[in-house]
Structure 1
Amino acid sequence: MLTRRQLAAARLVAQGLIAPHATALDAVTAHVAMQGQDLPGVIASTALRTPRPDPVEVLAELDAGRIVRSYPMRGTVFLMPSRDAVWVTQLCSAPSLRAAEARRRQLGLDEGALARAEETALEALADGPRSRPELFGVWEAAGLAPKGGRGYHMLFTLIARSTVCHGPWNGTDQDIALVSSWLPAGSDLAGRFDGERVPAVAELLLRYLSSHGPATIRDFAWWTKLGLAEIRAALPLVAGHLESDGAAEPSYWRAGLLDEVAALGRAVSRPLLLPGFDEFILGYQDRLFAMTRDQHDRLVPGNNGVFKKTVVQGAQVVGIWSRGGRPGRRSLEIEAFRPISAAGERALQRRFEEFPFVGQ
């Protein structure tokens, strides 16, 4: 059985935070989906998983249409490879779409309004991606009144139904693009898996456990909101590619991972600065492998779903950090959970100077 620190170290390595992926696209492809409601944060999370963290590479992949953001599961936006966005969304989005129905009624929206929103979006985006304000303006002109949360809900629904997606970077945000023209043809569930769910679940399960493991199938069920029966049916299709601890509720990880961790030695303990919604923290049902309960309460005050940026050292969260000062005079501000050595502080300052910030 792995100790808490050993588990955290293995997950850091699996996620590419210690031994990085070759490219930004490789990093996102390995993860399949990286939680992305903080767009600058997920751009940084991706860049940090490459040899020379640089947001420019990530933004170039967005502009080229190889990476997009979608709402595949949990009602949350994720950064994804374009070739995986549609089939994963079709596989996992049903629970969040059902959950959104009550909110839709509160907003005075019905299927007729959503149909009109889709029709006007298809027409407005036919010539290429447009910004969110531009799309909302089209909806306003069509009498769909996007203010007061209605526009967000209509956009969420069209993305979760794989009609549109968040596409190229426009300097401050992502434009909205049509799935039919922006994403690869044949990348839906029918095109990739002949419409069969269990092989698709198996593919998603293998990539989650390879990039997040050691983790359990309950971690995967929480991450995707897929049913355990369907996941258990898929597990035998990929178990031969994984290693396991053989526990009553086993954890699984990619073959050779623990040897990689051992070969990296002290590198797994090096100080890191991570964005607030990084998959190292948000990719698991239980986050206490990397911190204590009290520390978790400080990371997410009031358990309000807003995660602060983490300082990681020795494979454990040792504090939270922020970016102080003004453009051109930025500084690292740390709220430490425990004392950090002078050498550790110097290393964190270097991480701050190298951090892949988007904008000033």
Structure 2
Amino acid sequence: MPVRPTLDDDQRRARLARRHRLAPGTAADRAEQVVDDLVAVHGTDPATVFLAVAARLTAPGTADTERALYADGTVLRRHGMRKTLFVVPADLAPALYASTTAKAAAAERTRLLKDFAASGRDAAWTAAAEAAVLDALSGAPDGLTGSQLGELVPQLRESIDYGVGTSYQAAQPVGMRLLRLLGMEGAMVRRRPLGGWTSSRHRWVPGPPVPAAPSAAERAAAQAELAARWLASYGPATEDDLAWWTGWGRREVRAALAACAVTEVELADGGTGFALPDDLDPLPTPAPWAALLPALDPTAMGWKHRDWYLSPEHRPELVDRSGNLGPTVWWNGRVIGGWAQRPDGEVVFDLLADPGHEARRAVTAKAETLRTTLDDTRVTPRFRTPLERRLAA
């Protein structure tokens, strides 16, 4: 039996540093380069997108991400993996939709129609409400917020009873459900928000024509494309990692890996990892590096199995109850602490292990750069962790 190549934790950290543009000399000039290399940047918390990109630019700031998102449209906000909102390269959007979003949106539409029908609103009522929303948007070239749409489309202000007879029964606004569905399907898309770059009050505009539901073959091809893009940035990785990141079923993950002609590799813990066949040569260890990355940063959230860069003993401080990572401090490919912004704007950090004088000096310099980037903006993560709460106070 042939011996599997070995890619140990040092190699994984070397790849992470270089491919996620965190090692010295790898910073990007433009936001598109960062988003392309990260494949997808969590967009649930608007601040994540801007701070994740800024941490990897030669001239840290938020203006270039605003340009890419709102002026040039070279990166797009789309629902994708695990039904979560991401910012992705524009050229990846079709594969994202065919591989992941279309199936999730179809399931969401089925649930919405069922819930609306249970409240006395049949499919015709829902179709009329959708048409009213899109008609309102067609007459607003600068876009409309959800609140503004509610003023123009009275159906959105109605509510339904969700989970009747269960412990989680609650009233849900029609607008919340319907606008989310139309956003998932791509019938309407988010544009520049009201307020600054941390605002989630986005203006909606009509989207491009919604593509037809992909065939099984089209879905499989798109999944292979997305898996290959992800492995090029995050490999080697396990089957579990890809299943967690994409939200696909195990059979879909295995088919996508087979379509990529991946090579099995031995990981440091003895487990089986997968890498693209032309990605087996070792990379040199980068020069020492530090980074302050935001909550939900794609590097911190890139894998299900994280022991090779996040010590299990640090997780209670840095991870919330749902498994979301808060703001993290990195040194040479490992998470060594967390950071927060205080009400007066100061960026403070706490190191959970002593990394030495060189690391402390580098982390302090990164904190000062981040403070300059934030300027007068105040950032509070949407998903807060114990360490972040304590530091912010």
The alignment status of 1:123 with 2:129, answered yes or no, reads no
Q: TM-score, normalised by structure 1?
A: 0.81
Looking at structure 2, the residues matched to 203 and 102 of structure 1 have their Cα atoms a distance apart, in angstroms, of 29
C-alpha distance after superposition, 1:211-235 (max 9, x if no partner): 2222134322221122333343343
Q: 1:351 to 1:100 in 2, by over 3 A?
A: farther
User: SS state of the match for residue 16, structure 1?
Assistant: coil
Counterpart for residue 352 of structure 1: 367
Query: How many residues of Structure 1 are paired with residues of Structure 2 in the alignment?
Result: 344
* Residues 4-43 of structure 1 aligned to structure 2 (within 5 Å): 4-18=9-23, 19-43=26-50
Give the residue type in structure 2 aligned to 1:304: S
The code of the aligned residue for 2:131 comes to E
Point out the structure with max Rg over C-alpha: 2
**Alignment map for 1:242-257 (pairs within 5 Å):** 245=265, 249-253=272-276, 255=278
Greater helix content: 1
Displacement of 1:102 after TM fit? 5.8
Q: 2:175 aligns with which of 147, 151, 163?
A: 151
Give 3-state SS (helix, strand or coil) of 2:17's partner.
helix
- Residue 78 of structure 1 deviates from its aligned partner by 0.7
The aligned residue for residue 213 of structure 1 is 235
RMSD of aligned residue pairs (Cα, Å): 3.3
Distance (whole Å) between structure 1 residues aligned to residue 362 and residue 98 of structure 2:
43
Identity %: 24
- Confirm whether residue 71 of structure 1 aligns to residue 79 of structure 2: yes
Q: Structure 1 residues 253 and 334 mapped into 2: Cα distance closer, same or farther (>3 Å)?
A: farther
Offset of residue 255 of structure 1: 3.9
Judge which range, 197-206 or 87-96, deviates more: 87-96
Q: Residues 195 and 229 of structure 1: is their aligned pair in 2 closer, same or farther, counting only changes over 3 Å?
A: closer
Q: What residue in structure 2 maps to residue 308 of structure 1? A: 326
1:49 aligned residue (51, 56, 61): 56
Alpha-carbon deviation of 1:160? 1.4
1:201 aligns with 2:223: yes
Partner-residue secondary structure (3-state), 1:250: strand
Which is further off, 220-229 or 289-298? 220-229
Given the superposition, is the C-alpha separation of residues 39 and 197 from structure 1 closer, same or farther in structure 2, using an over 3 Å criterion? same
Aligned partner letter, 1:294: E
TM-fit CA distance, 1:325: 4.2
Q: Give the drift of 1:134.
A: 1.8
Cα offset for 1:206? Answer: 0.9
Q: Distance in 1 between matches of 2:351 and 2:125?
A: 50
Alpha-carbon contact 1:25-1:81 (below 8 Å) kept: yes
Code of the aligned partner of 2:35: V
Cα distance in 2 for partners of 1:133, 1:257 equals: 52
- Residue segments in structure 2 that go unaligned for 5+ positions in a row: 1-5, 161-170, 378-393
Residue type of the partner of 1:179?
A: G
Q: Is contact 2:260-2:276 (8 Å) kept? A: no
Matches within 5 A, 1:312-323: 312-323=330-341
What's 2:385 paired with?
A: none
Structure 2: distance between partners of 1:271 and 1:68 = 28
2:338 aligned counterpart, secondary structure:
strand
1:119 positional shift: 1.3
CA contact under 8 A between 1:34 and 1:80: conserved in structure 2? Answer: yes
- 1:154 is displaced (CA, Å) by 1.9
- Residues 107-136 of structure 1 show CA distances to partners (whole Å, capped at 9, x for unaligned) of 957645543442122112214322233223
Structure 2 Cα separation of the partners of residues 221 and 15 of structure 1:
20
Matches within 5 A, 1:181-196: 188=211, 196=218
Q: Which of 150, 158, 166 lines up with 1:136 in the alignment?
A: 150
Q: Deviations over 1:157-188 (max 9, x none)?
A: 111122122223443333222212xxxx7x95
Name the residue aligned to 2:391: none
* Amino acid aligned to 1:138: L
Alignment of 1:275-294 (within 5 A): 275-294=294-313
Distance 1:266 1:87 in 2: 32
CA shift for structure 1 position 194: 11
- Counterpart pick for 1:339 among 354, 376, 380: 354
Q: Cα distance, 1:54 vs. partner?
A: 1.9
Q: Deviations over 1:242-272 (max 9, x none)?
A: 665267733215845854x40xx342x4111
Q: For residue 70 of structure 2, what is the amino acid of its counterpart? A: D
Structure 1 CA distance, aligned partners of 2:106 and 2:205?
20
8 Å CA contact 1:321–1:334 kept in 2: the answer is yes
Q: Which amino acid aligns with 2:203?
A: D
CA distance in 2, matches of 1:110, 1:294: 52
Q: Is the 8 A contact 1:166 1:175 kept in 2?
A: yes
Q: Distance in 2 between matches of 1:237 and 1:228?
A: 14
- Name the amino acid aligned to 1:320: G
1:165 equivalenced with 2:184 (yes/no) = no
In the TM superposition, residue 340 of structure 1 has moved relative to its aligned partner by 4.2
CA-to-aligned-CA distance 1:181-213 (integer Å, 9 cap, x gap) = xxxx7x95789x997222211211111111222
Q: Is the contact between residue 5 and residue 316 of structure 1 (CA under 8 Å) also seen in structure 2?
A: no
Contact 2:290/2:331 (CA < 8 Å) preserved in 1? yes
> SS at 1:273's partner residue?
strand
The amino acid of 2:309's aligned partner reads A
- Tell me the equivalent position of 1:226: 248
Match of 1:178 in 2: 206
Q: Which runs of 5+ in 1 are unaligned?
A: none
